[in-house]
Every structure is written in C-alpha cells, then in structure tokens.
Amino acid sequence: MQEIKRNKAGWRDNKVTDVYLALVHHPVYNKRRQVIAAALTTIDLHDMARLSATYGLKGFFVVTPLEDQIKVAQAMIDHWSEGWGREYNATRAEALSLVTLAHTIDEAKERIRHNSGAVPIVAATSAADGSGRTSFAEMRSGLLQEDPVLLILGTAWGLTEETMAACDVILEPIKGPTRYNHLSVRAAAGIILDRLLGIR
C-alpha cells in the first residue's frame, strides 16, 4: 500500500482520487425499521465540514428532501460564511465552503459527475457485519486511482437496505473492544476518514 505523503505546505504529494462525503437524512430507518427523513443536526454539519477540510475532501453533501431542513442548513452556512460569522471564525467559513445541499444521493452523484467528468464510486458505511465488506486497508489502496469516490453515511438508524444494495462498496464496520456499537455519525466519520486518508 502506497503511503500518502505531504509536502511542507501540508498537501499530498502523490495523486489520491477525489473523495466526497455525504451525510444522508433520507432514505434512512427509524428505530422501528420504517423509512423516514431524519431531521438534520447543525453540529453534524459543523463537525463534518471541519473533518472534510482536515482530510482534504473535495466536498461534503448534506442530503435531505425536506425544504425546511435545507433552509435551516443554508441559514447556518450563510451565518458562518458571510459578515460577522466569517470575521469571527474564518476557519469555520473555510470548512463550510465545502458543504453542498442536495435533495437525493443521485443529485449528489450527478454534481460530482458534472464537476469531475466521471461517475463516482459510491462507498457506504454500516455498523452491522455482513458478507462482501471491504476493509479500510483495501479501500485506502483503492483511493490511488482516477475515479472519484462518494462516501455516504446514514443518520438515524442507518441507510436503507435498498440504498446499501445500490452502492459499489460497503466498508467493514468500526469495532471497539466491547459489545456496545452506537457511535455518533460524527465520531464514525472521523474514524473512517482517518483510516482512509490519515497520515501513516
């Protein structure tokens, strides 16, 4: 596996494919395995935008079909990207510049295709074991290629089976030394991005 190196300015020296992150609020399950559109949480947007900036992602999509939720997200982005918010915390504005709002996963994929000229490889995450899971080491090696990658994470109780089945890659679950397995999506995103793109 080729090591990802950085130069003095902090950027990668060798070519790593463009990686995008998507936080999916629909379609996801609730506790009863019903398909829902989950409410967004502004702290998720803040923290995952900062993760995206730290690990050099090309963009971070917030996926929801709910117009009122899109308005909430846009208002938060505008607050930190313009005027007093930008002056108060310029680094937060830098991170939030990576956020794009999308109604569906397909819309996010199409925007990536439009920007890069290639349909992205879609990689999903799941807390559950299953057949055909791809290890983080395999995925990390696979990032040394030309095709863009869209990494999707589900909110609430996770992505639907149909969404998972439509993905090109399903990553292995994150496991700790205990049986407890309920990480916040922000924590899971941080672990995943560090395993895939962190300096080794």
Note the pLDDT tens digit of each residue in 120-137.
Answer: 999 998 888 888 899 999
C-alpha gyration radius of the chain: 17
User: In percent, how much of the chain has pLDDT > 70?
Assistant: 92
Does the residue 156 lie in any domain?
A: yes
User: Domain containing 169: what range?
Assistant: 19-197
Does the residue 45 lie in any domain?
A: yes
Does the residue 3 lie in any domain?
A: no
Does the residue 51 lie in any domain?
A: yes
Does the residue 103 lie in any domain?
A: yes
pTM for this entry: 0.89
Does the residue 7 lie in any domain?
A: no
Structural domains of the chain, count: 1
Q: Inform me whether the pLDDT recorded for 75 exceeds 90.
A: yes
Does the residue 87 lie in any domain?
A: yes
| CB atoms inside a 10 Å sphere around CB 154 | 25
Does the residue 9 lie in any domain?
A: no
CATH of the domain at 87: 3.40.1280.10
